Structure 1
Amino acid sequence: MRKLVVAAFVSLDGVMQAPGGPDEDTSGGFRYGGWTVPLSDDATNQAIADMFATPFELLLGRRTYDIFASYWPKVKDNYIADLFNKVPKHVATHRPDSLKWKGSVALSGDVVAAVRTLKQQDGDALLTQGSAHLVRQLLAAGLVDELRLQTFPVLLGPGKRLFDDKASASSFKVTSSVTSPGGVLLAHYVRSGEVQTGAFD
């Protein structure tokens, strides 16, 4: 059985939309594309490199897939491009015939059921990038084993969020936590079971 790891750049108010550039995802009138760029540095880049050092397969929603497929195959002599172009890519889509990026496979039928089946197989970890709608479905179904979050000290207001009120209640253990020079919290969370409650005397 393999792990499902959600990796995300997230604002203090939970927005994860369009972290990498102004035109990445302007849906809903989002105006702050590229909000991670001014605060990214060697520490945030190293956290990404460390995450990609473990074998993985990508698990993507259709919008993120389209953004990646229009960019990464054109990039040469780049560590991340080499990885993304090589690894299998599992894609939540209703248009399987339009997946042209090499190594792309459509998740057929019910997406949550398809991911649950993938997790039961042997293989490398399933790693999400972006894919807000898909990630919220996976959180609601209790399928997420790890969270690798870079939390940036900005408030963005309206935008696609990592968490909503449908997320399955669960506890996570912090296995590492570092703050970058620019104030980005780099944290790795591993699921540790059910939520425990209590009362103060």
Structure 2
Amino acid sequence: MRKIIVLSFITLDGVMQAPGGPEEDTSSSFKYGGWVSPYFDEVADKVMEKQLKPADLLLGRKTFEIFEGYWPQHSANWPGINEVTKYVVSGTRETSDWENTIFLRNLTDIEKLKNGSGTDIQVHGSGELIQLLLKNDLVDELWLKIHPITLGNGKKLFAKG
């Protein structure tokens, strides 16, 4: 059985939306994209290096499309990103030119993946997918990088309960 590990940047008030840049996810008129950049330093870089060990990726379609548009050309910053298997949960996409990409359709496909053999599986971004995984008790570990900022609104890692 494989471990599913969720890695997420998160604010003190639980926002996970668009940590990387202003254009990353502007849905619901979100205007605070790129909030993680002021907090990156040598320590953060070393933590990220340890966390970005070779592992297969499980991504929602929206996050995959962000990754697909960026990482193939910047793979020196994430060694192995092109070689690992990228599993993408999508009801609309079926193909990608990015090597080693496999599309999954539903929860049953995710459960089969988890119950198979292989490396750990990392989930990055993918807020809706994370909610599905948490609801169905499929997350083994949460690696949260909590940043000392509150944004007041935005997509949250933990749904209201």
The TM-score normalised by the length of structure 1 is: 0.76
AA paired with 1:154? I
Count residues with an aligned counterpart.
161
Q: CA deviation at 1:153?
A: 0.7
2: CA distance between counterparts of 1:114 and 1:43?
37
Residue 91, structure 1, aligned to residue 53, structure 2: no
Work out which of the two has the higher radius of gyration on C-alpha atoms and give 1 or 2: 1
1: CA distance between counterparts of 2:13 and 2:96?
33
Other-structure match for 1:24: 24
Q: CA deviation at 1:79?
A: 3.6
Stretch moving more, 143-152 or 93-102: 93-102
SS of aligned partner of 2:51: helix
Q: CA deviation at 1:19?
A: 0.4
SS of aligned partner of 1:162: coil
Write 1 or 2 for the structure with the bigger share of strand: 1
C-alpha distance after superposition, 1:151-192 (max 9, x if no partner) = 0011112211111146xxxxxxxxxxxxxxxxxxxxxxxxxx
Other-structure match for 1:59: 58
- In the TM superposition, structure 1's runs of 4+ consecutive aligned residues that sit over 4 Å from their partners are none
Q: Determine what percentage of the aligned residue pairs are the same residue.
A: 41
Gaps (5+ residues) in structure 1? Answer: 167-201
SS of aligned partner of 1:38: helix
2: CA distance between counterparts of 1:156 and 1:40?
18
C-alpha distance after superposition, 1:20-79 (max 9, x if no partner) = 1111111111101100000111111111111123x3100000100000101111225x14
Higher relative contact order, structure no. (Cα contacts within 8 Å, ≥ 6 residues apart)? 2
Other-structure match for 1:104: 101
Answer whether contact 2:95 2:103 (CA < 8 A) is retained.
no
Other-structure match for 1:43: 43
Answer whether contact 1:96 1:105 (CA < 8 A) is retained.
no
Gaps (5+ residues) in structure 2? Answer: none
Answer whether contact 1:22 1:34 (CA < 8 A) is retained.
yes
Alignment of 1:1-201 (within 5 A): 1-53=1-53, 55-75=54-74, 78-80=76-78, 82-108=79-105, 110=106, 112-165=107-160
The TM-score normalised by the length of structure 2 is: 0.94
SS of aligned partner of 2:8: strand
AA paired with 1:115? I
